[in-house]
Structure 1
């Protein structure tokens, strides 16, 4: 008879006081998880009505309005009050706001508090990942992220959810991993329904989170245009390969992209219109004008905002990402959706194991007047 695996006797001390900056859907969900885990949580909201409703009615009227929030979760519009005494910080704001919000946080930042930047994307112009953007404004604060296949509503409702907590591991963290920010954050967020995994590959985790949104738009476009499951499966698989190559080129590990923050998040986001990225792609694939998508509401879609920056970064480091190139070309109006995807499917035939290093002309070829995606720039 096989002996059961012994339970670990050591555990990481959680951060007892956590500030969550950003009261959108995911920020609200993470604040609810931390409060459910027994932490003292203050959620910073921009809108006074949202903060008041959370404190009084334990609901966020703008996001997840049907989800009851923990009664001891507190909200405030005062950044200084939100950060006062915080042992750790979770930042969850749109990618375009990470720099400005980080600068605001820096003015009130508690000494030595680690920050988990839970925004997915690459900054336009600089090519910086979200933790790198935050680092420029916050200084030498320890930065990481929490990322994975997580729809905010399901997480807040307590459906079993797993995510990766990624922070760089320094020499001291290797000697005493239980005291590392990653381990302590994982301990802080663990509940009966929220399961955390630990990673030291911050680059790999962030690249997975940024690129999967663009691939999800591609899957949505194909679904909306009437293509079936074969097409989506191919896009998910080859899209993950693009994620691996970019992560590796930037110092991350291909293995990371096969985990929760890569393959897991990619599969979830490309499988449901609950994802705004997938939903946008479906609407565009059906021929809906961008201004009319989401019933004309100004919905922020991170994959749309980051498609150009992902492609620009990939070109800069010499990585070929034809699916992302296709999405970017369609989004900025340089290519017709159907023609661009036909050009993608008729690119030169390649080997799937990169070690074979094989490429041959595709006998089908692109139709006249349709350039290969990488040439249509």
Structure 2
């Protein structure tokens, strides 16, 4: 049995806390919100985000950061990506040398173009930072539906240790050393999912969705390989696997935000209605900047940015994508 601290009591942090508890571990969950801690401690259900998922009494919730971090075998960082750096900075004084931290959020920092693990390492250089990613909506993990993910770590020892902590009969875990590729796949697919949602909102069909997924993974892989990721990663769970589920699932907040924009709402109106952090909006500008920096063609990402931040009509964006200069597929 391991003693685990989970930072972030949103839907994903809560679902993983339940998974780890069911695996026999002692789990303490931290939230910055005392109100959220009180609600979860008393109701034992996150009705707004994980309705119907009952949380056992053994799960401890706290707003005391030191309590959540002290004496833990490993830590799970599950705060939304815009708050990763700030949270890591607050954690650093309590983190011992070699402390394993597995980041489970997805995003790229717009100002620095750093992945989340890079941000954590910058703020907590003494930590052993790993990542977990894949097609894994919290709503299904919380209900115990079969799910498969991949853990990326710098050493095989850390990867195998975390694999043994998370794996269960309903949560199969693979390992990889390609941390960068895993993070890029997990972050950039949210931008493509916004495009897929916009297409759904405009009433386009399955052909359109399949095209966006296929050409989307081509864009992600082009950039990822140029940056040093492995092509196998982008054809795997954290690449095409995560992209498919995020573009197609009713649970996808990025697809839902895109859907609302496809129906005519502004980006701000869509984010307000989704009422959760829409990671793709935060990653879109970073993706465009990376494409420019590495001189990689990413036309879907480019058009998503124009719809999000320049007020471009989605129908015009589709026209530009369809009527671009003809070319070979590969």
TM range, smaller chain: over 0.9
**What SS does structure 2 have at the residue aligned with 1:219?**
helix
In the alignment, the residues of structure 1 paired with residue 21 and residue 98 of structure 2 have an alpha-carbon distance, to the nearest angstrom, of: 22
In structure 1, the residue matched to 2:246 is: 269
Mean CA deviation greater in 290-299 or 16-25? 290-299
In structure 1, the residue matched to 2:227 is: 250
For residue 294 of structure 1, report the CA deviation from its aligned partner.
5.9
Instruction: Give the structure with higher Rg (CA).
Output: 1
Mapping for residues 65-214 of structure 1, pairs under 5 Å: 65-169=51-155, 173=156, 180-214=157-191
For residue 73 of structure 1, report the CA deviation from its aligned partner.
1.4
For residue 54 of structure 1, report the CA deviation from its aligned partner.
3.2
**What SS does structure 1 have at the residue aligned with 2:50?**
coil
In structure 2, the residue matched to 1:28 is: 14
Q: Which protein has the bigger helix share?
A: 2
In the alignment, the residues of structure 2 paired with residue 48 and residue 106 of structure 1 have an alpha-carbon distance, to the nearest angstrom, of: 21
In the alignment, the residues of structure 2 paired with residue 133 and residue 294 of structure 1 have an alpha-carbon distance, to the nearest angstrom, of: 25
Unaligned runs of 5+ in 2: none
Q: Deviations over 1:174-226 (max 9, x none)?
A: xxxxxx11111110011221111111110110000011000000011111112
For residue 293 of structure 1, report the CA deviation from its aligned partner.
2.5
In the alignment, the residues of structure 2 paired with residue 351 and residue 326 of structure 1 have an alpha-carbon distance, to the nearest angstrom, of: 20
Is structure 2 residue 322 aligned with structure 1 residue 336? no
In the alignment, the residues of structure 2 paired with residue 52 and residue 116 of structure 1 have an alpha-carbon distance, to the nearest angstrom, of: 26
Match 1:284 to one of 251, 261, 268? 261
* Residues 62 and 230 of structure 1: CA distance in aligned 2, closer, same or farther (over 3 Å): closer
Superposition RMSD on alpha carbons, in Å? Answer: 1.6
**What SS does structure 2 have at the residue aligned with 1:143?**
strand
In the alignment, the residues of structure 2 paired with residue 196 and residue 348 of structure 1 have an alpha-carbon distance, to the nearest angstrom, of: 42
Mean CA deviation greater in 107-116 or 314-323? 107-116
For residue 144 of structure 1, report the CA deviation from its aligned partner.
1.4
For residue 45 of structure 1, report the CA deviation from its aligned partner.
1.2
In the alignment, the residues of structure 1 paired with residue 30 and residue 97 of structure 2 have an alpha-carbon distance, to the nearest angstrom, of: 19
Is structure 2 residue 284 aligned with structure 1 residue 307? yes
For residue 305 of structure 1, report the CA deviation from its aligned partner.
1.2
Q: Tell whether the 8 Å contact from 2:253 to 2:274 is kept in structure 1 after alignment.
A: no
Q: Tell whether the 8 Å contact from 2:133 to 2:182 is kept in structure 1 after alignment.
A: yes
Unaligned runs of 5+ in 1: 1-14, 174-179, 354-377
Mean CA deviation greater in 229-238 or 101-110? 101-110
In structure 1, the residue matched to 2:3 is: 17
In structure 2, the residue matched to 1:63 is: 49
In structure 2, the residue matched to 1:46 is: 32
Q: Tell whether the 8 Å contact from 1:147 to 1:163 is kept in structure 2 after alignment.
A: yes
Match 1:238 to one of 198, 215, 233? 215
- The normalised TM-score by structure 1 is 0.84
Deviating beyond 6 angstroms after TM superposition, the runs of 4 or more aligned structure 1 residues are none
**What SS does structure 1 have at the residue aligned with 2:148?**
strand
Count of residue pairs brought into register by the alignment: 330
